[in-house]
Amino acid sequence: MKLTRRQILAGCGFAGAALLPSYLAAQSDEAGPNTLSGVWLEPFVDPLPVPRILTPTVDGLESQRYAIGMSEFQQKVHRDLPPTTFWGYEGSMPGPTIAVRRGCTVHVEWRNQLPSQHRLAVDHNLSGAGTDVPEVRAVVHLHGGHVAPDSDGYPDDWVTPGAAQKTVYPNQQPAATLFYHDHAMGITRLNNMMGLAGFYLIRDPEEDQLRLPSGPYDIPLAIQDRTLDARGQLAYPVGPATDAPWVPEFFGTHVLVNGRVWPFLNVEPRRYRFRMLNASNSRVYELSFVPEQPFVQIGSDGGLLAGPVTLNRLLLAPAERADVIVDFSGREGHRLTLMNHAPAPYPSGGTLSPRFLMQFRVRRPLAAIADTSEIPTRLADIPRLQESAAVKTRRHTLREYMTADARLHRVLLNGMRFSDPITEDPLNGSTEIWEFVNPTIDAHPIHLHAIHFQSLDRRRFDVRRHERTSEVVYTRQAIPAAPEESGWKDTILCPPGQVTRVIIPFKGTPGKFVWHCHMLEHEDNEMMRPYLLQG
Ligand code: C2O
Ligand code: CU
């Protein structure tokens, strides 16, 4: 029997020091998930917004142009709250969806029209965010896009208000749910918290042929947790020292789906396709429906899976995407609530809330006589990469460094700073195995830019021994990647006490990219390293 990814990861909590640091105590929501400093919020009173599809400024079959402005605006997140100040693309949070066909080259001019002062406290001690650089900087990265280095949004390639970043996206990759978001050095967590993220969908003829639910039945869901104050404004915690506001992780008291707190969606009794994106800074979700209703996962980060995988619980780490089909037929008159069961921090943290995300109400009549969509048993050809194809194995250690008073103060890959010389320099066209050794108590979602990889396995090791001698001594058998993780991935969750292995076929335009932890607080405190794709 093959274990699901949830089963594999559930048994991974390793007995580390079980202390609840002060920054987490401050973020836990003891008053219950519905109250905001005394303001009662009624769940499921706002309809789910669906981000609009952006129209290109110049349209064409082979190429398209877009001009996208980033600005500050107000948007309502709940019926009973005044509008919230956000930063976003084209005046919406999440930004409008860019939907393109495979093979169509897309040129985007990203215009920074943001104010010159940040709304959230910048920590000038973080690398690249010192007082020597402008406070507001922005650079857009297309997460999951196979692009050239100069269009990838390198963290230092930021532009200031009044300037623009130009990118070219070739879209020579299979149909997939990608997303664009800010990536500016040292303030990525703050820019994303303010709202700088949106969907980017690639479609292709192979996918069209499958007759998956489409049009109004194909809905992206961006899941983002936020803490709102009584006036409905974004609140982001600050550390104990005023000159060092960085906090190791952010867990909000409320979850927004497509920019709304606890929205509802009226659905027909038929199949829907939901492209779920965890666009939260740090929170991992473990989703399920009440009453029980399975998710049929058909795709992950890099596109369709080989075949559908039926799950009752869906695990989604920051930046991961799960393309799922949910069948509401036979459920007329029912309400299904999307719940979250993951503790924060994941997997061994103490705070559970918020527990629910949104509600689906099966109350619209079928628009057609019958639902003609299908879930084919074969979705895509995913050649399994063989370990023997790898020319190199690199072992990476994920580390958290504490101060004497047990405050987390830096998170690093291989103990190296972002500015340290490049050590990862794969040859274009070669295949490598990367092993992520995680002796910390957190699960870290590790992301590589510009390529997709396959998950191999996870294996427990002796953490105490590793602490003493740096050796990796395995204590269990390796557990192979679960079926829902066996497609193309760009972000892989690395549980504590385990070595997570992926196999990476490096191919693209040579140059400098980055790889990093996608918990944005970690990324901003240098859990990020460059890699050089050698031509
Ligand atoms: Cu989604 Cu380097 O980022
Ligand atoms: Cu991390």
Q: Any idea which residue has 């039945």 for tokens?
A: 217
Please indicate whether residue 141, judged by its CB atom, sits closer than 6 Å to ligand 1.
yes
More confident: 211 or 352: 211
Average pLDDT score over residue span 175-201: 98
Provide the pLDDT confidence category of residue 12 given band limits of 50, 70 and 90: very low
What are the E-state strand segments in 52-162?
A: 63-75, 84-89, 95-101, 105-112, 140-143
Residue 444 has pLDDT above 60, yes or no: yes
* 3-class DSSP string for 145-166: CCCCHHHCCCCCCCECCCCEEE
Which amino acid would we find at residue 195? G
The partner residues of 224 in beta bridges, in order of sequence, read 256
Bridge partner residues of 501 (DSSP): 435, 457
Q: What is the mean pLDDT of the chain?
A: 92
Q: Select from 427, 449, 413 the least CA-distant residue to 529.
A: 413
In the block, which residue shows the tokens 């940040």?
118
Q: For the chain, how far is it from start to end, CA to CA, in angstroms?
A: 42
Q: What is the DSSP letter of 388?
A: G
Q: Distance, CA 517 to ligand 2 centroid (Å)?
A: 5
Distance separating alpha carbons of residues 95 and 273, to the nearest angstrom: 20
Mean pLDDT of 267-291: 97
DSSP 8-state code for residue 526: T
Rounded-to-integer distance, Cα 280 and Cα 487, Å:
23
Q: Give the separation between CA 353 and CA 44, rounded to whole angstroms.
A: 17
Q: Please identify, by atom number, the ligand 1 atom nearest to the C-alpha of residue 144.
A: 1
**Of 343, 316, 345, 183, which is closest to residue 248 (Cα–Cα)?**
345
Name the nearest CA neighbour of 485 among 4, 2, 1, 59. 4
* 168 has a pLDDT exceeding 80: yes
**Residue 119 near residue 234, CB atoms below 8 Å:** yes
Q: What is the pLDDT of residue 28?
A: 46
The closest alpha carbon to 27, from 482, 344, 298, belongs to 344
Measure 64 CA to ligand 2 centroid, in angstroms: 36
Residues in CB range of 525: below 8 A, 6 or more apart:
126, 246, 248, 409, 410, 411
Query: What pLDDT was estimated at residue 29?
Result: 45
- The residue among 484 and 410 whose pLDDT is bigger is 484
pLDDT band at 410 (very low <50, low <70, confident <90, very high): confident
User: Residue 11: is its pLDDT beyond 80?
Assistant: no
**pLDDT for the residue numbered 3:** 52
pLDDT of residue 251: 94
Coarse DSSP helix, strand, coil percentages of the chain, rounded to the nearest 5 percent: 10, 40, 50
Ranges assigned E (strand) in 231-366: 234-235, 254-257, 260-261, 263-267, 271-278, 285-290, 295-300, 303-311, 314-316, 321-327, 335-340, 356-362
- Check pLDDT > 80 for residue 37: no
Q: How far apart are CA 291 and CA 335, in angstroms?
A: 8
**d(CA 453, ligand 1 centre) in Å:** 15
- pLDDT band, very low/low/confident/very high, at 369 (cuts 50, 70, 90): confident
The three-state secondary structure class of 353 is coil
Contacts with 519 (C-beta within 8 Å, 6 or more apart), sequence order:
249, 281, 282, 318, 442, 444, 445, 527
User: CB of 200 within 8 A of CB of 180?
Assistant: yes
Confidence of residue 23 (pLDDT cuts 50, 70, 90): very low
| Torsion sign across C-alpha atoms 278, 282, 283, 285 | positive
Q: Is the pLDDT of residue 525 over 60?
A: yes
Mean pLDDT of 9-32: 40
Helix (H) or strand (E) holding 167: strand 164-169
Distance (Å) from CA 442 to ligand 2 centroid: 7
Q: Rounded to the nearest 5°, which phi and psi values hold at 216?
A: -70, -10
Predicted confidence band of residue 440 (pLDDT cuts 50, 70, 90): very high
Q: Atom of ligand 1 at shortest distance to CA of 153?
A: 2
Read off the pLDDT of each residue in 15-22 and give the average, rounded to a whole number. 36
Question: Near ion ligand 2, which residues have CB within 5 Å?
Answer: 444, 517, 519, 522, 527
Beta-carbon neighbour count of residue 294 at 10 Å? 17
CB of 501 closer than 6 angstroms to any ligand 1 atom: no
- pLDDT at position 33 over 80: no
Ligand 1 neighbour 254 (Cβ under 6 A)? no
Residue 531 pLDDT greater than 70, yes or no? yes
User: Which residue lies with its CA nearest to atom 3 of ligand 1?
Assistant: 143
Average pLDDT over residues 471-493: 97
pLDDT at position 278 over 80: yes
How big is the chain, counted in residues?
535
Residue 183 CB–ligand 1 contact under 6 Å: yes
User: How much distance in Å is there from the Cα of 13 to the middle of ligand 2?
Assistant: 16
The predicted-structure confidence for 78-130, as pLDDT tens digits, reads as follows: 999 999 999 999 999 999 999 999 999 999 999 999 999 999 999 999 999 99
Q: Judging by DSSP bridges, how do beta strands 431-438 and 392-402 pair with one another?
A: parallel
Q: Is 137 in the pocket of ligand 1 (CB under 6 A)?
A: no
Lowest mean pLDDT among 198-212, 287-301, 367-381: 367-381
